[in-house]
A and B are shown apart, each in its own frame.
Chain A
Amino acid sequence: MQRYCTIKLSTSIWPAVLRTLGARIVLVCIILAGTAAANAPRLAAETISLEEGRRILSQVDSLVSYEDRDFSAEYTITDVRPGEGSSRTVTTIFRRDQLDTYTIIIMEPEADRGKGYLKIDDKLWLYDPVPRRFTVVSAKDRFQNTNARNSDFTRSTLARDYRIVGRSVEQLGSYKTDVYDLEAVTDEVTFPIMKIWIDQDHLVRKFEDYSLSGQHMRTTAIPRYKTIENAYVPIQIVIQDELRGREINGVFQYQRTLITAAKASFQPLPDMVFTRTYIERVSE
């Protein structure tokens, strides 16, 4: 089956915010289309040492992990299901990477308002304000039934979880990128095989997730970063589910999740934010 990347911005179901992002989404489409285009010009794959690989991945991690300060932002997550419409979730995320902890409060839609996630120690708790109960969920689960995983909102841990097994160079839209084939060194990650595209600033521009058997499961593009207080914050992320979609008018359209970040801040957060009590109070 021939599959194409198309997004109809003129469709009435699209919220205005997405239409304003039209031009950028087209760029993302070009990046995602590259997924299928394994025929793009590429240099021969080369192997690199374990130490060198760890250094590269640590550098990538360090750019989007904020070990020395707290981070907060408002994320708008738009899940687009071809033929089924779209849904929008607005969340506020608080991160304290130094302690590997985070809190997510759902603001919209109204039905999920007040739900919250809290990652402390090795457990991820989900609070439901209706029964007023916390339950343990997995970081590997889908976030609010979108294509994003709960773990997508934590700090980057590529160096800890993967090793580089192959390297090549590829032109990705306007970016000249190094493409790394990654293999998990731990079984704690959802996707044991990954491929990442790193630009000349060592920022991840795209990555592909694969199952153990090598099935391409998900493609993520990060077309925009914003520099705030000398740190990079990805402010636009597009996740394409490679297995879900619909053929509409003869064209196959994948399910996509668009994540935009706003109000990013590195102001210190009170310790209280990373407690169950805080989530309960906010949800009242």
Chain B
Amino acid sequence: MSMSGTINTAWKNYIRGLKRYSILLTALILVSAVLIMVLAVVLGIREGIYEKASRYFAGNIVVLSYSGTGDSLIEDPETVLKAIDTLESSGIGIQTVSRRSTYYEKTLIELFFSGYYIKQRRLVGVEWDLEESILSSFDFASGALPDKHDEQAILISTAAADELHVKVGDNLLVSIQTESGQANTVELIVGGIFSETSFFGYAAYLHRKTLNRLRQAPEDEIHEIGVYLDHPLRDQDRAAALLSEEMARTLPSFGIVETREDFEVEAHAERETAVYGVVTAGAQLEEIENLLEAFTLISILIMVIFLMIVMVGVSNTFSMIVWERTREVGTLRALGMQRGRAVQLFLLEAGFLGISGTVVGLLLGTLILEGVKRGVELPSNAVTTLFLTGGRISWILPWWGVAGTALLVVGASILGSFRSAYRAGKLLPIEALNRHE
């Protein structure tokens, strides 16, 4: 029997035995669907948080410069920007660059409106035009990104807007303490309110010059220069390494910061001159990354246990099938079928079972994911909005996710049937034909 004949026979046997496979097939469909959903949601959440974090921390990779005060100040922005330009010649796509000033002092930043007030963790001074493509991806509950030269506008989160009872167009008073500790204020117009009540919602965005004036610092002062990459998750580490290497040629450098602890050490290390370095959004998100990884690992562990149970089920079912088809196998063997072909016949049948489970599971999983995404808007609170995009669960299913799930499910099915298939291959034709049911 040729290979195509074996495949054909295995397919016919599979279709003929579908009724017997129904429970196993259902289990495989469920396993595939759950695996697909867990993977897609974790990847979706990860990308969503990564996008928010990159927007919050000034880019996918960010250049900082410390001289021991704990605050970054880029004294030579031109050299840093030249180093960033070299990334594109290395094949790394750049979406845009940010030049920001930031004010981070959670006890001293307050927003006031009509007697209501709220503290903020961070004021972010941006150039609206430079980061237009990034900031416009805010999920605006009302308003929009201000005009590029608008130095009177401020973007606040729904968390702040709800507390302040403020609307787009209202005058908001921003109060901070300057570097020397003096109270200073500025009245700005709410240009947009973005949906965010998580950790990332306690930041307000205003023009860099406005923030510098409020801080009583030179208008053009820059604290961090960020790079938004075309493929951040893929290129982040390579881009950080290349940028760090390029900057080290002309500027004193402390390299790449890998963790938040390293970040704190570099920020406060005593130095005689400003030293430059690169931090990735991934390093800033270390704790959240760890949480997601732990969640993914637990999910995979549960799925592996479930797959092993399915494998036992496949094994038992195929033991029965081989027993029932002993005479049939004997006949085929008597007609010249090789041992290996007999084994292949059963393994292929198990493979069809696994493939069917994966395909239907994939369809079911993606249908459920899309249904939940479109139909379920979760209530926003500090925890949920951290993991949601626009109040909804977002999901991503890359090709390797589908391939990996298929490999696992089909592999489990084939592995489960292997013992029985091997036994069928070992049967002598005469012995098989003599066996009575």
Contact = CB atoms under 8 A, between A and B. Distances in A.
Interface of A: 1, 138, 140-141, 184, 187-192, 209, 211-213, 215, 217, 243-247, 252, 254
Which 10 residue pairs spanning A and B have beta carbons closest together?
A187-B180, A245-B115, A215-B185, A212-B184, A211-B185, A211-B183, A243-B112, A192-B182, A213-B185, A211-B184
A194 B117 CA distance: 23
A213 B177 contact: no
Given A1-B114, A243-B112, A244-B112, A212 B175 contact: no
Contacts of A246: 115-116
A243 B182 contact: no
Nearest to A214: B185
Contacts of A211: 175, 182-185
Contacts of B183: 190-192, 209, 211-212, 217
B364 interface: no
B181 A187 contact: yes
B110 to A, nearest CB: 8
Given A213-B186, A246-B116, A252-B115, 8 more contacts: A188-B181, A190-B182, A190-B183, A211-B182, A211-B184, A213-B185, A217-B185, A244-B112
B259 interface: no
Contacts of A212: 178, 182-185, 216
Interface in B180-199: 180-187
B169 to A, nearest CB: 16
Nearest to B186: A213
A247 B173 CA distance: 18
A245 B112 CA distance: 10
A1 B178 CA distance: 29
Interface residues of B, number: 19
Residues of A contacting B: mostly: loop
5 contacts: A188-B181, A190-B177, A213-B186, A243-B115, A246-B115
A254 B185 CA distance: 19
Nearest to B180: A187
Contacts of B137: none
Nearest to B182: A192
Contacts of A188: 180-181
A215 B185 CA distance: 7
A212 B184 CA distance: 5
A187 B114 CA distance: 29
B70 to A, nearest CB: 14
Contacts of A209: 183
B173 A244 contact: no
B107 interface: yes
Given A189-B182, A213-B184, A244 B107 contact: no
Contacts of B115: 243-247, 252, 254
Contacts of B182: 184, 187, 189-192, 211-212
Contacts of A189: 182
A141 B185 contact: no
Contacts of A245: 115
Nearest to B113: A243
A244 B181 CA distance: 21
A41 to B, nearest CB: 29
Nearest to B107: A141
